Chains A and B, each alone.
Chain A
Amino acid sequence: MAASPWRFRRATDDRLLLGVAGGIGQRIGVDPLVIRIALVVLTLAGGAGLVVYGLGWVLSEDAPPGTAPSEPATLDLRQAAAVGLVALGLTLLLRGAGLWFSDALVWPALIAGTVSAVIWTRSGPDQGSRGRLTESTPARMVLAAVLTFAGLVSFWLIVPDPRRVVVPLAGILVGGGLLVTPLLARIWRNLEAERSQRARQAARDEVAAHLHDSVLQTLALIQRSPEHRRAVTLARTQERELRAWLYGDRELNGPGRSLAAAVDDLLVDVETGYAIDVDHVVVGTVADVDADPHLPALLKATREALVNVAKHAGVDHASLYVEVEDDRVTAFVRDRGRGFDPVSVGDDRHGLRHSIHARLQRHGGGARVTTSPDGTEVECWVPLPEDHDGDHDGDATEAADADVAVDPSDPRPLHHTDVATEATP
């Protein structure tokens, strides 16, 4: 930074002409746009703005080469209002002093400038990248708005004199044209994109319908012949993959994996590696599983529970139910296997303790195992950040908590370990 408080560097990254306004804005932390408007207004006031601009250029220096572009100053409403008021005050002062073009020119220009500024700042960040007048669409928009409004207001001010209508009218036409052309072009482009998107979707639906009527049916048929265990597993995995591709929501949801897609991936993995079929149901959605701090842990614990069924329960079938609730996501893994005694589980089987209980506790969740000779159910849950985008605002919580109780009418020994460690955030 320059030693003198009056010296500042001209902006290299945010400039329309020489970067003076950008430099001043960065120096005093005001949006350069505000400075520019003030300069324009002062210029209209008898050319005072030009003097200030020239002074600014003399007082400033070029940024040394290689300087990183500074963070663009954000528009603080209070600062903007302050600079605006100073400019207005100066304008009125200069008007009083006689340094003035004419009311018919200055006020329309002032209004037009303000309106343009509003339009500019309101445009989204994607189109709001401020650049040189010749390049960027927002600059075009601003210019167009300036011309249009200036034309409109001068028209209103001078309409009694028909000869003087020509210039404002030209302003309106040119401005309106500039304003409308990119808009029309964008609408046209959007329509085009939508049309081709629809065509792609139609083609995909057609393929889906065909595959559905042929391949999926065959895969279902193969799965009805349980004597060929290997073929059944293969058919099941293939069916899952094909279905995920046909009806999957991957590309609809952007880059992230949805909860349903993540569960699909998990099951393909488990069913390929172990002799187990899993029926699964997912209720509710989370758009991007991998961006969630806890959900990957839940999926890993769920995988472990499913693998335990395959290894130890003595059955080849399990049910998985995943539900997105208000404040947490719960996964139930249920089998009709032989059950086990959690107390007597050997130290060599770390899966339950480490991969499920400890992992979920670390994430503020927990696990609950209910087991009897009729089967085992492992309930795993992790908390959900408050701003999650699931589509449930329902009242799903109380029922899941009510499930703690196990069947008291069952006289057989029943084990129930509970590490329900609900962490308070």
Chain B
Amino acid sequence: MTAHITVFLVDDHRLFRTGVRAEIGTRVHVVGEAGEIDTAIAGLRRTKPDVVLLDVHMPGGGGREVIQGATEAGLHDTKFLALSVSDAADDVIGVIRAGARGYVTKTIGPDDLVDAIRRVHEGDAVFSPRLAGFVLDAFAGSLPDDLDVVDEELDQLTAREKEVMRHIARGYTYRETANRLHISIKTVETHVSNVLRKLQLSNRHELTAWAANRHLL
């Protein structure tokens, strides 16, 4: 079911790449791996993978640079799923705003990882509970008055989106969230995708200021 998905691993820890490859290699098609930004971009140009598993932190930069390099190379169909050990808010928000479609921690199990790859490949956004928590924090409160251009649509979450985020933060899957809110799973996916879009495009200054100030977690 997922074996046709081509996956590229970008992580500067070889041990981690080897481990992930061993775990998911039979279920998705791993077409390459890289440990540095330059070789990663070259590898992506060559293999044009469906999904890139991307370490947020790497020497001399990180996931952001790889996504930018790939975008400049015209790889618009490639989806990026960010992996991180840090959970530092500014890292996570940064890589999402650079264009990643989801974020999971490196402690994720193989089954969940394959599922996340599949969902990102299908165009959905993958939110870990932690990322949902970040979003709730960053979009919390009323809009600041000193914001010059307020885009109501982009700078605020709807009540429904907040509920969906809250359920994900509580550890519910998309399906469970859909059941509890009496909506279809497709609707949940739409809500999550909209939140991702807001996260990427909103100029809400709190978002960046908050992320920069917050080195915890």
Interface residues of A (CB under 8 A from B): 212-213, 216-217, 219-221, 223-224, 226, 236, 243, 247-249, 258, 260, 279, 281-284, 318-319, 321, 323, 332, 334, 377, 391-396, 398-400, 402-403, 405-407, 409-410
Contact = CB atoms under 8 A, between A and B. Distances in A.
Main secondary structure of the interface of A (DSSP, over half): mixed
A332 B132 CA distance: 15
Interface in B180-211: 180, 182
Contact of A248 (B87, B180, B216): B216
24 contacts: A216-B85, A220-B16, A221-B15, A221-B106, A224-B106, A247-B216, A247-B217, A248-B216, A249-B215, A260-B216, A279-B129, A281-B132, A281-B133, A318-B171, A321-B169, A334-B171, A334-B172, A391-B140, A396-B140, A396-B162, A399-B163, A402-B163, A407-B179, A410-B179
Given A220-B107, A221-B19, A319-B129, A394 B141 contact: yes
Nearest to B20: A224
B117 to A, nearest CB: 16
B57 interface: yes
B45 interface: no
B217 A260 contact: yes
A323 B166 contact: yes
Contacts of B171: 279, 318-319, 321, 332, 334
A411 to B, nearest CB: 12
B170 A321 contact: yes
A265 B93 CA distance: 26
B57 A213 contact: yes
Contact of A399 (B19, B23, B106, B166): B166
A283 B87 contact: no
B141 A392 contact: yes
A385 B184 CA distance: 38
Which 5 A-B pairs give the minimum distances between C-beta atoms? A319-B171, A281-B133, A220-B106, A321-B170, A220-B85
A237 to B, nearest CB: 13
A119 B57 CA distance: 53
A394 B158 CA distance: 12
A395 B159 contact: yes
A281 B169 contact: yes
Contacts, number: 108
Nearest to B18: A221
A409 B179 contact: yes
A260 B217 CA distance: 8
A393 B137 CA distance: 11
Contacts of B86: 212, 216
Contacts of B169: 281, 283, 321, 323
Contacts of B140: 283-284, 391-394, 396
A243 B159 CA distance: 33
Contact of B159 (A219, A391, A398): A398
B170 A319 contact: yes
Contacts of B12: 213
B129 A281 contact: yes
Contacts of A221: 13, 15-16, 19, 106
A206 to B, nearest CB: 14
Contacts of A396: 140, 162
Given A223-B107, A243-B87, A396-B162, A321 B16 contact: no
A279 B168 CA distance: 12
B142 interface: yes
A283 B133 contact: yes
A407 B217 contact: no
A174 B57 CA distance: 59
B101 interface: no
Interface string B80-112: 000001111000000000000000011101000
B88 A247 contact: yes
B129 A321 contact: yes
- B106, B107, B109, B142, most chain A CB atoms within 10 A: B107
B136 interface: yes
A46 B213 CA distance: 62
